[in-house]
């Protein structure tokens, strides 16, 4: 039996292809099954969750009790809005600040560029630690303010370096011709450089967005008012605190099992950021590679 | 100073505070350390005056908790004046459950503020994260008026001396009578609030309610024809476990290895034992090897849920709730929690085994840890110490009072409905009331379960039975600097080894070597410090 040749490459034999397919299937299952279990547990009826010891793969029926009790108190809804605000505004501010810094560092002839770059690199090697940062946040009057979730982490040195590498490698002729046409630095940056940088901006934007979306520790330290807590901190409290929702000393109406609630809030916290990925995916490989290879 | 989160949380708090604030937390503490234990003992503890306004159906003792078969009709309004001073009071605490709605959307919180006469602003964190938050705020010099200090906080004496109010004058001896519900907290609990020869806090008492015993699902055992099981020795205990195991039906006897129960059968000490001024640790006890061997046998026989070593407490509780396991080692609080998780299952029933001796006779159960936390008041607070103590007193109003009913259950109609005289919480009630008030101050737990008088009866009966045999931790009320810094890490190392041994991954003989390492890494230092504290206290 001769094997099929496609584009000059001999295709593997059928048993081999079957084996490869099987291996891929196992890997896919390893990724998908836990995800399915998370969703199934969040919508499975209480009794099934309890009987199965906390994890359900195929729900017998759909019960949205866990989601209802999550959103009933208003805490999760409020936290969701906080998270969305912090992620959107934070990402925009971070991109603006990082791009401006990176672009100025990438411009040839900027005399203070090198010392500033060293300062940026220094912050990458030595982080300030919890208490000094806390004192700075306190000194800046940001305690108990939603800006405490954005300002201290607004500029990431790593992202600035990636952006700088990208800007530095844009052909100098383009900016030069813009200048000849009478454009100043800001205009060149806004109308010439940024439109050419969509790929890297999407990737860095995604890095920032995921960072803001997942951050919880700043909120734990800086925010006393739980009204300002982002979703991730609320999620952690649900997942970490092993007790049921209620107080141990009281009797109560039956609430959904703890694992249903945990899985429901996991779904709630994953979905928004998951929705952003497909739109940025096409830029992703290009953006990352640009920074990586030329940096 | 470069300080990673890990080193900071591992005990760098004081060092960090020195670096940041320039105020050594332990200054003064070191100078006075020599006679600290004697000074602590010299403090006249608050006089215990039992509150007699509410008569329990099942009267307790200093150890056994009061039991109530139903909530008293027309609860007594015990405090007429509003304790607050009209100004907001800040409080920082961990909370054990879900995040409650913020004050502006929480009617319970609003009603509380109204009753207190001051707005209570609460800064919360989950149990696990509280220590991070606490340590950062201490070092950042940003403490609230009322502070929940966990008992395992590093270097408490230095911390309270630097940052908290000395309450001795207001609470010592008969002075506490001005705050009748604080006076209703038995004297032994106050021992844990004394540092540097002064009273620095109000206790949040636990003790008996935290005593753990082998809980079992009475309904599941009854279905197998086993009623009121009472194994007389380890072998019968083991046989009972075998009988309740059916792996093919996904059923195991135990949610976790009952090593603590086996140790109690062998009369292994509860943390530290004192004998003639000499201290010995639970790890060093000669019966440890036998206990580990017995636990290993149980694991090998397959009577423990095979996921017991991987999963968290949530899973363990779900196995017990779902009948995947019939036995669990836990406290009276957990016993109630199981009923809270299973309100719709009428047949669901929990009871507990007494602890027999390993070869017969009676075992020696361990008394639960005395305190949940110490509540201290910040030196920088603008409120008077009297106001803050009045708030703590209000929070300690016991079961049967109107204040307790509000504190634990909220407002009738919204947070609970009355069935007879028993309050039954609504979902809203459960969520809105969970703002951590029980950690400002609390009365001792009362044995009670809304609509199920059988529960407090069973709980009271077993408490009366085990009370005379309870073993206490001899180190309670004595301060050891090494223990405060190293206990958590050393305990973790020993627990990890224990798990390996009972799973058969390491030989039982490894325990002896590990105990040697434990001694040299801090165990011996703890012992010396505890013995010294004990001797100083005895000699005054």
Q: For residue B119, give every residue at least 6 positions away whose Cβ sits within 8 Å of its Cβ, in sequence order, or none.
A: B88, B89, B103, B113
Tell me which chain A residues have a C-beta less than 8 angstroms from the C-beta of B139: 131, 134
pLDDT score, position B35 = 54
As a whole number of angstroms, the distance between CA B241 and CA B223 comes to 15
Is residue B478 scored above 80 in pLDDT? yes
Average pLDDT over residues B340-359: 88
B327 φ/ψ angles, rounded to the nearest 5 degrees? -125, 145
Residue B218 in this model has a pLDDT that exceeds 90: yes
C-alpha to C-alpha distance for A277 and A272, rounded to whole angstroms? 9
Calpha distance B495→B472 (Å, rounded): 20
Min Cα separation A185/chain B (Å): 39
The answer to whether the beta carbons of residues B20 and B139 sit under 8 Å apart is yes
3-class secondary-structure state, position B447: strand
Chain A contact present for B451, CB below 8 A: yes
Determine the distance in angstroms separating the CA of B224 from the nearest CA of chain A, rounded to an integer: 19
Closest-CA distance, B115 to chain A, in angstroms, reads: 21
Instruction: Compare B202 and B334 and report the one with higher pLDDT.
Output: B202
* Cβ neighbours of A165 (radius 10 Å): 18
Over residues A149-154, the mean pLDDT reads: 93
Task: Report CB contact under 8 Å: A259, B430.
Answer: no
Cβ separation B313–A242 shorter than 8 A: yes
Structure tokens at B404: 């307790």
Give B126→chain A minimum CA distance, Å: 5
User: Is B100 close to A253, i.e. CB distance below 8 A?
Assistant: no
| CB contact B429 to A (< 8 Å) | yes
**Residue B341 contacts A where some CB pair is shorter than 8 Å:** yes
Interface check A224 vs B, CB under 8 A: yes
Separation of alpha carbons B98 and A239, rounded Å: 9
Within 10 Å of residue A125's Cβ, how many Cβ atoms? 7
- Amino acid A276: pLDDT: 79
Query: Is B115 exposed, middle or buried, given 0-12, 13-18 or 19+ CB atoms closer than 10 A?
Result: middle
Q: Which among B333, B422, B451 is the nearest to A248, CB-wise?
A: B333
Residue B461 binned pLDDT confidence (cut-offs 50, 70, 90):
very high
A286 falls in which pLDDT band (50, 70, 90)?
A: low
* CA dist., res. B66 & res. B55, Å (int): 9
Determine the average pLDDT of the residues in A10-32: 91
Cβ distance A220 to B3 less than 8 Å, yes or no, reads no
Say yes or no for a CB contact (<8 Å) between A250 and B425: yes
What pLDDT score does A287 carry?
A: 62
CATH number of B212-366+470-539: 3.40.190.10
Closest approach of chain B CAs to the CA of A78, in angstroms? Answer: 9
**pLDDT score of A1 more than 60:** no
B61, B387 contact by CB (below 8 A): no
Please list, in sequence order, all residues whose beta carbon lies within 8 angstroms of the beta carbon of residue B15, skipping any fewer than 6 positions away: B1, B3
pLDDT of residue B9: 42
Q: Is A179 on the interface with B (CB under 8 A)?
A: no
CA dihedral B330, B334, B339, B341 (to 10 degrees): -110
Structure tokens at B83: 């304790």
A289: pLDDT strictly greater than 70: no
Q: What are phi and psi of B371, to 5 degrees?
A: -120, 145
Q: pTM of the entire structure?
A: 0.81
Give me the DSSP letters along chain A.
-PPPEETTEEPPPHHHHHHHHHHHHHHHHHHHHHHHHHHHHHHS-HHHHHHTTS--SS-SS--THHHHHHHHSSHHHHHHHHHHHHHHHHHHHHHHHHHHHHHHHHSTT-TTHHHHHHHHHHHHHS---HHHHHHHHHHTT-TTSGGGGTGGGS--HHHHHHHHHHHHTS-HHHHHHHHHTT--HHHIIIIIIHHHTHHHHHHHHHHHHHHHHH--HHHHHH---GGG--HHHHHHHHHH--S-SS-TTS--SPPPPHHHHHHHHHHHHHHHHHHHHHHHHHHHHHHHHHHHHH-
Query: How much is the average pLDDT of A84-105?
Result: 95
Asked: is B5-209+370-448 a CATH 3.30.420.40 domain? The reply is no
ipTM over 0.95: no
Scan residues 16-35 of B and list those with Cβ closer than 8 Å to A: 16, 20
pLDDT band for B291, please (50, 70, 90 cuts): very high
Question: Touching check for A238 and chain B: CB below 8 Å?
Answer: yes
Q: Where are the domains of chain B?
A: 5-209+370-448, 212-366+470-539
Closest CA to A134 of A8, A219, A244: A219
Count of all residues that appear for chain B in the document:
540
Pick B2's closest partner by Cβ from A51, A126, A238: A126
* The pLDDT of residue A291 is above 60: no
Token pair for A197:
């940088």
Q: Which of chain A's residues have a Cβ under 8 Å away from the Cβ of B432?
A: 73
By the 8 A CB rule, do B355 and A87 touch? no
**Cβ neighbours for B290, distance < 8 A, ≥ 6 positions apart:** B266, B358
Selecting from B104, B125, B140 the residue whose C-beta is nearest the C-beta of A220 gives: B125
Are the Cβ atoms of B408 and A247 closer than 8 angstroms? yes
- Which chain B residues contact residue A242 at CB under 8 A? 312-314, 317
Alpha carbon of A228: minimum distance to chain B alpha carbons (Å) = 9
What secondary structure, in 3-state letters, does B314-329 show?
Answer: HHHHHHHHHCCEEEEE
d(CA B308, CA B500): 12
Q: Is A68-294 assigned to CATH 3.30.9.10?
A: no
A241 with B127: Cβ contact below 8 A: yes
CA quadruple B153, B159, B161, B167: dihedral positive or negative? negative
Of the pLDDT bands very low, low, confident and very high (cuts 50, 70, 90), residue A136 is very high
B508 pLDDT more than 90: yes
Q: Strand B89-95 and strand B146-150: pairing?
A: parallel
> Could you tell me the CA-to-CA distances from A45 to A65, B111, B314 in Å, in that order?
8, 35, 18
| pLDDT for position A209 | 92
Residue B252: φ, ψ to 5°: -130, 155
> Hey, is the C-beta of B323 within 8 angstroms of any chain A C-beta?
yes
- Evaluate if residue A224 carries a pLDDT over 70: yes
Q: What is the pLDDT of residue A244?
A: 46
Helix (H) or strand (E) holding B40: helix B36-42
Quick one: pLDDT band at residue B255, thresholds 50, 70, 90?
very high
Contacts of A227 in chain B (CB under 8 A): 102-104
**Which residues of chain B does A75 touch, with a Cβ-Cβ cutoff of 8 Å?**
98-102
Contact residues on chain A for B450, CB-CB shorter than 8 A: 250-251
Residue of A nearest to B452 (CA): A251
φ, ψ of residue B359 in degrees (nearest 5): -110, 15
Question: Does residue B459 sit in helix, strand or coil?
Answer: helix
Instruction: State the Rg of chain A over Cα.
Output: 25
- List B residues 109-128 in contact with A (Cβ-Cβ < 8 A): 121, 123-128
CA distance B427 to chain A (A): 6
Inter-chain touch B432–A74, beta carbons under 8 Å: no
Given a contact cutoff of 8 angstroms between Cβ atoms, the answer to whether B159 and B138 are in contact is yes
Residue B211 has pLDDT above 80, yes or no: yes
> Nearest to residue B327, comparing CAs of B267, B260, B381?
B260
DSSP B9: I
Verify whether the Cβ–Cβ distance B430 to A255 is below 8 Å. Answer: yes
Whether residue B12 is predicted with pLDDT greater than 90 in this model: the reply is no
Three-state DSSP at B237 gives helix
- Residue A131 is nearest to which of B3, B129, B343, comparing CB atoms? B3
Average pLDDT over chain A, rounded to whole? 84
Asked if residue A129 has pLDDT above 80, the reply is yes
Q: Show the tokens assigned to B66.
A: 């009061």
Contacts with A225 from chain B: Cβ below 8 Å: 102, 121, 123
Q: Do residue B343 and residue A246 have CB atoms under 8 angstroms apart?
A: no
**Can you give the pLDDT at residue B108?**
95
d(CA B88, CA B376): 17
**Lowest mean per-residue pLDDT among A2-11, B42-51, B464-473:** A2-11
| Torsion angle, alpha carbons of A287, A289, A290, A292, to 10 | 120
| Cβ within 8 Å, pair A227-B104 | yes
B419 touches chain A (CB under 8 A): no
**Residue B49 scores a pLDDT above 80:** yes
Query: A135: which 2 tokens?
Result: 């004192």
Bridge partners, residue B92, by sequence: B123, B147
Residue of B103, B144, B434 lying closest to A247 (CB–CB): B434
> Do the domains at B5-209+370-448 and B212-366+470-539 have one common CATH topology?
yes
Fill in the DSSP letter of residue B456: H
Full DSSP string of B352-414: E---B-TTSSB--PBPPPSEEEEEEEBTT-SS-HHHHHHHHHHHTPPTTBHHHHHHHH-SBTT
Residues B519, B521, B527, B532, CA torsion sign: positive
| Cβ atoms within 10 Å, residue A278 | 8
Q: What tokens appear for B318 in the block?
A: 């779900």
Q: Give the pLDDT mean for A67-80.
A: 79
pLDDT at position A176:
87
Q: B496: pLDDT confidence band, cut at 50, 70 and 90?
A: very high
pLDDT for res A36? 92
- Choose among B98, B540, B90, B503: nearest CA to B301: B503
Sketch the domain layout of chain A as residue ranges.
5-63, 68-294
* pLDDT, tens digit (0-9, with 9 covering 90-100), for B411-428: 999 999 999 999 988 878
Inspect the interface and report whether the beta carbons of B322 and A51 lie closer than 8 Å: yes
Residue B406 tokens, joined: 């509000």
Cβ burial, residue B63 (10 Å; 0-12/13-18/19+): middle
What is the share, in percent, of chain A residues with pLDDT greater than 90?
36
Name the residue among B391, B409, B403 with its Cα closest to residue B448.
B409
Question: Is pLDDT at B96 greater than 50 in this prediction?
Answer: yes
**Nearest CA to B102 among B115, B113, B117?**
B113
In this complex, the residue of B312, B319, B430 whose CB is nearest that of residue A242 is B312
Q: Closest partner residue to A251 among B102, B343, B432, by Cβ?
A: B343
Query: B240 falls in which pLDDT band (50, 70, 90)?
Result: very high
Which of B16, B339, B438 is opposite residue A131, by nearest beta carbon?
B16
Three-state SS at B202: strand
B376-411 pLDDT per residue, tens: 999 999 999 999 999 999 999 999 999 999 999 999
Summary mean pLDDT of chain B = 88
Q: Do A135 and B140 touch (CB under 8 A)?
A: yes
Closest CB from B250, B314, B409 relative to A258: B314
Q: What is the DSSP letter of B455?
A: H
DSSP tag of B101: P
Q: Which of A108-112, B36-40, B370-374 has the weakest average pLDDT?
A: B36-40
Chain A, chain B: beta-carbon pairs less than 8 Å apart: 203
Q: Which residues of B touch A54 (CB under 8 A)?
A: 314-315, 318-319, 322
Question: Which residue of B67, B212, B314, B339 to mutate against A (max A Cβ within 10 Å)?
Answer: B314
* pLDDT cut 90: percent of chain B above it: 67
User: Nearest CA to CA, how far is B158 from chain A (Å)?
Assistant: 19
Distance CA B404, CA B145 (A): 23
Angle at B444 between CA B441 and CA B449, to 5 degrees: 115
* Model confidence band, residue B283 (pLDDT cutoffs 50, 70, 90): very high
- Over 90: is that where the pLDDT of A278 sits? no
């Amino acid at each position: 039996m001769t094997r099929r040749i496609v584009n000059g490459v001999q295709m593997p034999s059928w048993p081999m292809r079957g084996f490869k397919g099987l291996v891929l299937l196992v890997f896919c299952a390893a990724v998908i099954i836990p995800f399915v279990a998370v969703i199934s547990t969040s919508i499975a009826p209480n009794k099934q969750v309890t009987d199965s010891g906390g994890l359900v793969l195929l729900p017998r029926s759909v019960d949205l009790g866990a989601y209802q009790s999550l959103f009933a108190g208003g805490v999760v809804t409020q936290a969701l809005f906080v998270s969305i605000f912090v992620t959107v505004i934070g990402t925009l501010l971070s991109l603006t600040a990082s791009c401006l810094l990176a672009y100025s560092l990438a411009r040839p002839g900027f005399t203070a560029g090198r010392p500033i770059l060293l300062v940026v690199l220094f912050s990458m090697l030595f982080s300030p630690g919890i208490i000094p940062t806390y004192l700075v946040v306190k000194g800046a009057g940001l305690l108990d303010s939603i800006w405490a979730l954005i300002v201290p982490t607004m500029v990431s040195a790593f992202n600035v370096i990636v952006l700088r590498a990208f800007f530095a490698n844009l052909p100098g002729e383009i900016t030069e011709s813009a200048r000849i046409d009478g454009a100043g630095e800001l205009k060149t940056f806004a109308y010439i450089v940024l439109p050419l940088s969509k790929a890297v901006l999407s990737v860095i934007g995604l890095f920032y967005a995921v960072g803001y979306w997942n951050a919880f520790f700043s909120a734990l330290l800086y925010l006393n008012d739980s009204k300002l807590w982002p979703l991730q901190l609320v999620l952690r409290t649900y997942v970490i605190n092993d007790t049921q929702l209620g107080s141990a000393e009281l009797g109560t109406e039956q609430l959904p099992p703890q694992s249903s609630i945990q899985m429901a809030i996991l779904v709630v916290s994953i979905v928004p950021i998951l929705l952003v990925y497909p739109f940025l995916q096409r830029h992703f490989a290009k953006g990352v590679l640009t920074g990586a290879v030329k940096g | 100073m470069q300080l990673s989160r890990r080193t900071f949380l591992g005990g760098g708090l004081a060092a960090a505070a020195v670096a940041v604030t320039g105020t050594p937390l332990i200054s003064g503490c070191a100078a006075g350390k020599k006679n600290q234990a004697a000074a602590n003992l010299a403090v006249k503890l608050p006089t215990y005056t039992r509150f007699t306004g509410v008569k329990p159906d099942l009267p307790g003792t200093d150890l056994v908790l009061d039991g109530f078969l139903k909530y008293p009709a027309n609860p007594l309004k015990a405090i007429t004046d509003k304790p607050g001073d009209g100004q907001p009071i800040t409080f920082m605490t961990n909370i054990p459950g879900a995040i409650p709605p913020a004050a502006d959307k929480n009617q319970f919180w609003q009603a509380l503020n109204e009753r207190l006469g001051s707005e209570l602003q609460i800064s919360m964190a989950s149990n696990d994260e509280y220590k991070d938050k606490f340590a950062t705020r201490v070092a950042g010099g940003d403490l609230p008026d009322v502070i929940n200090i966990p008992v395992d906080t590093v270097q408490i004496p230095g911390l309270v001396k630097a940052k908290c109010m000395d309450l001795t004058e207001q609470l010592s001896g008969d002075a506490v009578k001005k705050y009748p519900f604080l006076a209703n907290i038995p004297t032994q609990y106050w021992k844990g609030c004394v540092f540097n020869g002064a009273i620095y806090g109000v206790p949040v008492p636990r003790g008996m309610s935290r005593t753990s015993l082998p809980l079992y699902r009475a309904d599941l055992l009854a279905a197998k024809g086993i009623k009121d099981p009472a194994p007389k020795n380890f072998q019968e205990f083991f046989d009972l476990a075998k009988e309740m195991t059916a792996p093919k039906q996904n059923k195991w006897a135990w949610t976790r290895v009952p090593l603590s129960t086996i140790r109690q059968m062998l009369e292994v000490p509860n943390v530290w034992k004192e004998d003639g001024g000499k201290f010995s640790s639970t790890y060093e006890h000669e019966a440890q090897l036998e206990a580990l061997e017995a636990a290993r046998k149980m694991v090998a026989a397959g009577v423990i849920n095979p996921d017991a070593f991987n999963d968290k407490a949530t899973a363990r509780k779900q196995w017990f709730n779902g009948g995947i396991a019939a036995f669990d080692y836990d406290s009276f609080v957990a016993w109630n929690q199981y009923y809270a998780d299973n309100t719709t299952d009428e047949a669901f029933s929990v009871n507990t085994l007494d602890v027999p001796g390993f070869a017969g006779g009676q075992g020696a159960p361990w008394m639960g840890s005395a305190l949940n936390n110490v509540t201290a008041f910040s030196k920088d607070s603008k409120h008077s110490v009297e106001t803050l103590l009045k708030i703590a007193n209000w929070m300690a109003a016991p079961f049967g009072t109107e204040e307790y009913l509000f504190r634990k259950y909220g407002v009738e109609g919204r947070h609970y409905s009355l069935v007879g005289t028993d309050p039954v919480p609504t979902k809203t009630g459960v969520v809105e009331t969970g703002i951590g008030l029980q950690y400002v101050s609390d009365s001792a737990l009362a044995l009670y379960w809304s609509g199920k008088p059988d529960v407090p009866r069973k709980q009271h009966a077993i408490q009366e039975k085990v009370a005379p045999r309870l073993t206490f931790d001899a180190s309670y009320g004595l301060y050891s600097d090494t223990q405060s810094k190293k206990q958590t890490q050393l305990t973790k190392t020993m627990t990890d080894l224990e798990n390996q041994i009972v799973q058969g991954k390491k030989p039982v003989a490894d325990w002896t070597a590990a105990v040697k390492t434990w001694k040299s890494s801090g165990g011996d230092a703890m012992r010396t410090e505890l013995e010294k504290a004990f001797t100083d206290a005895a000699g005054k």
